[in-house]
């Protein structure tokens, strides 16, 4: 069983969290294998995915030794407990819900609380969040994060929304601890075609861009 610090280390290196938010849960195992082949080792299954808890449980059994499996779109403590019992190793919320911190930490798992403003980000940090999910980040961008971290350098920011192969390096240069990537990595067309070879290629390209 991984420790919280072990999980955090995997989330931060290579620092890319693939966010799975789909309506066909049967595609999660093959697309997760494709992501792994491309080098992405952190996978977040959102609770908006049908049968999300079963998907998390199955992923832990299938690839848990090769990747960390987390849960996203967690809005309350009951949902958090259910996901942790299903095997989630990290918890992500799009909102600042401080009550999730104690639940996740009691299970030895890191937690990421959502924020949009400096005040929300600091409140999440003071509540004990291991990371701050900056959401939605597509209208803010790397310059906002750099400006935010100037007076608040202790924040471990993970932007979600608007991160792609063209700007991912800028987000890391701005001081992000990691990034969350969803539709830019898992576009609807690719999922419809089940083109796992292309997904592996795009995952590897994203990692190369981040390391650049």
Say whether the peptide bond before residue 14 is cis (omega within 30 degrees of 0).
yes
Phi, psi of 54 (to 5 degrees): -65, -40
Tokens for 131? 């990371």
Domains of the chain: 4-203 (3.20.20.70)
Whether this model's pTM surpasses 0.85: yes
Smallest CA-to-CA distance from 160 within 78, 50, 42, 80 is with 42
pLDDT digits (tens, 9 = 90+) for 2-41: 999 999 999 999 999 999 999 999 999 999 999 999 999 9
Q: What is the mean pLDDT of residues 187-193?
A: 94
pLDDT of residue 92: 98
Provide the annotated active-site residues: 44, 133
> CA-to-CA distance for 101 and 109, rounded, in angstroms?
9
pLDDT digits (tens, 9 = 90+) for 130-163: 999 999 998 899 999 999 999 999 999 999 999 9
Q: What is the mean pLDDT of residues 50-54?
A: 97
Q: Is 188 helix (H, G, I), strand (E, B) or coil?
A: helix
Adjacency order of strands within the sheet including 90-92: 157-159, 131-134, 111-115, 90-92, 68-72, 42-46, 16-20, 179-181
> CA-to-CA distance for 103 and 93, rounded, in angstroms?
13
């Amino acid at each position: 069983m991984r420790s919280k610090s072990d999980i955090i280390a995997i989330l931060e290196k290579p620092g890319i969290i693939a966010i799975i938010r789909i309506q066909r849960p049967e595609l999660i195992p093959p697309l997760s294998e494709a992501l792994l082949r491309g080098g992405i080792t952190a996978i977040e299954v959102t609770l908006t995915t049908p049968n999300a808890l079963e998907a998390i449980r199955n992923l832990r059994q299938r690839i848990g030794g090769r990747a960390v499996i987390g849960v996203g779109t967690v809005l309350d403590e009951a949902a958090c407990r259910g996901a942790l019992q299903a095997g989630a190793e990290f918890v992500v919320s799009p909102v600042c819900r401080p009550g999730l911190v104690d639940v996740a930490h009691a299970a030895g798992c890191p937690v990421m609380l959502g924020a949009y403003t400096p005040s929300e980000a600091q409140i999440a940090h003071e509540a004990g969040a291991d990371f701050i999910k900056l959401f939605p980040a597509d209208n803010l961008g790397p310059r906002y994060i750099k400006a935010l971290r100037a007076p608040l350098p202790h924040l471990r920011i993970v932007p979600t929304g608007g991160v792609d192969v063209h700007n991912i390096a800028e987000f890391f240069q701005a001081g992000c601890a990691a990034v969350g990537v969803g539709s830019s990595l898992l576009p609807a067309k690719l999922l419809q075609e089940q083109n796992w070879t292309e997904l592996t290629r795009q995952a590897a390209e994203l990692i190369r861009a981040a390391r650049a």
